[in-house]
Structure 1
Amino acid sequence: MSGDIIRPSSVGGEAVRMRAVDKFFGEGDARTHVLKTTDFDAPLGGLVMLVGPSGCGKTTLLSVLAGTLNADGGEVTVFGERIDRMKAGALTRFRALNIGFIFQQFNLIPTLTAGENVSIPLLIQGKSNAVALKRAKEVLERVGLGHKANERPSKLSGGQQQRVAIARALVHEPRLVICDEPTSALDRENGVLVMQLLRDVAASADRTVIIVTHDSRIYSYADRMAEMEDGRVFRTLNSPDEIAAEHRGH
């Protein structure tokens, strides 16, 4: 996938900083060390991809920096705030204002229409139903689904549900957008549409997009790439030229 890629005009400061982060799952003999004192950074302004083999900890890392999982050690800083130290209520408010999360499994509410699903982040912020639904329909238009605003998820294809989930993550214009395999359920045409939309978000100097992906077709959209293996980020490629040189032919 490719297209006219707009890069951020300026990049300065950090959106995300993770230092020596540990995460365990399970107890006793079944305890698994998923993130192993790993470090990860993402700058303000730009699109960062996180790649690596299945099971290496990519989705867990995303969940920790989104605040949906607690770290078991280390520091997690988002826009200068130590979210690993926040109490539950403060963290919920911080996420509602600053973070949009695109889940691999969509996580749409089956009893709500596409428009109602997309409006949820705005309702959490205290917007009226009318304002939230109007904005939701505008964002659904941007992902090519304005005509499906009144349909429930069961009436939508997997690719359409994915685009609804992406619209929901973008509707409140978060400063940080976190995506778990956003193109996995999409054909080429819709994959390009979604990546161009995420690329436009990342072109702003004060907004950041982080994507976990196995889809090498979208590597050209990245400004930076972090490579993971066995619970750690072992290498970071810091420019589109470096990414192209290391992943040419993928």
Structure 2
Amino acid sequence: MTAPGTNHLAAHVRGISKSFGDGGSRLQVLKEIDLEVRRGDITMLVGPSGCGKTTLISIIAGTLVADAGELNVFGHDLRKMSTAAITHFRSKYIGFIFQSFNLIPTLTCAENVSVPLLIQGVSPSKAEKRAKEVLEQVGLADRFKNRPSQLSGGQQQRVAIARALVHEPQLIICDEPTAALDAKNGHVVMELFEHVARGKERAVLIVTHDNRIFHHANRIASMDDGRVVEVHDVDEDHPPPEHLKHVERL
């Protein structure tokens, strides 16, 4: 397991708070969150629906701005960066995998995976070459020309993973990546994440209700009512605590 020194951290969150709305309708969603996401680890965020998990990962990804606190991602203080700088940072360092896959139905697998590179200004030929390389890595070498509607749910998820990895980000953030998958495909997806996290000391941060995958985690952070209430290190000698197995699945 990765040592907890500062230079091994992908994300360092301290006192992060976030509210939505104004006046009497103002709702505080995050309440002085502290969390460390380590390089080389799979960190899972668990807890009941509405406890702030998705808001927290959105702040770490730079798509939401916190009201207060400190946020350091790979040595960059996101709270002090401009919107343009954060957008550039996110395109370089962060890959995001959505629960609903968010694949473009009219594009082939290779074209879907190429999109992040095209946005960065990479030529179409180089983007397609790189997309095919990553699709091969996730076991879809025979699906370059297929469109999403021609794929199973597990295959679509692997295309979404390839798209998140194509620009070689250092932090992969996933929102319920196995919720729509059966046990077999969920296991395949988690093995991919394990390879991703440990291969180049990237970090993987996963929001999940799926207790079938908890044993793939290195750390599990439990949230409730806008706070991180406990963090468990997980390994062969320290399996996920029994009470976490009763986390509500979607």
Matched, 1:148 2:140: no
Structure 1: where are the runs of 5+ without partners?
1-6
Q: CA RMSD in A?
A: 2.3
The residue aligned with 2:157 is 162
Matched, 1:244 2:218: no
Matched, 1:33 2:45: no
Q: Which amino acid in 1 is paired with 2:214?
A: Y
The residue aligned with 1:90 is 85
User: How far apart are the structure 2 equivalents of 1:128 and 1:10?
Assistant: 39
User: How far apart are the structure 1 equivalents of 2:58 and 2:65?
Assistant: 8
The residue aligned with 1:117 is 112
| TM-score, with structure 1 as normaliser | 0.88
Q: Select which of 132, 135, 140 maps to 1:137.
A: 132
Structure 2: where are the runs of 5+ without partners?
246-250
Please list, as runs of the form range in 1=range in 2, the aligned pairs for 1:201-216 lying within 5 A after superposition: 201-204=196-199, 206-216=201-211
State the 1:94 CA deviation. 0.8
User: How far apart are the structure 2 equivalents of 1:183 and 1:105?
Assistant: 10
Mean CA deviation greater in 239-248 or 188-197? 239-248
User: How far apart are the structure 1 equivalents of 2:151 and 2:24?
Assistant: 43
| TM-score, with structure 2 as normaliser | 0.88
Query: Is residue 50–residue 227 contact of structure 1 (8 Å, CA) maintained in 2?
Result: yes
Query: Is residue 46–residue 204 contact of structure 1 (8 Å, CA) maintained in 2?
Result: no
Query: Is residue 22–residue 38 contact of structure 1 (8 Å, CA) maintained in 2?
Result: yes
Matched, 1:174 2:169: yes
Query: Is residue 175–residue 207 contact of structure 2 (8 Å, CA) maintained in 1?
Result: yes
Instruction: Describe the superposition over 1:30-68 as per-residue Cα deviations: whole angstroms up to 9, x where unpaired.
Output: 321111111111112211111111111111101100001
Does the C-alpha gap of structure 1 residues 247 and 141 become closer, same or farther in structure 2, counting only changes over 3 Å? Answer: farther
User: How far apart are the structure 2 equivalents of 1:131 and 1:247?
Assistant: 48
Query: Is residue 225–residue 243 contact of structure 1 (8 Å, CA) maintained in 2?
Result: no
Matched, 1:99 2:94: yes
Does the C-alpha gap of structure 1 residues 144 and 99 become closer, same or farther in structure 2, counting only changes over 3 Å? Answer: same
State the 1:161 CA deviation. 2.7
Query: Is residue 8–residue 203 contact of structure 1 (8 Å, CA) maintained in 2?
Result: no
Query: Is residue 112–residue 152 contact of structure 1 (8 Å, CA) maintained in 2?
Result: yes
Query: Is residue 225–residue 238 contact of structure 1 (8 Å, CA) maintained in 2?
Result: yes
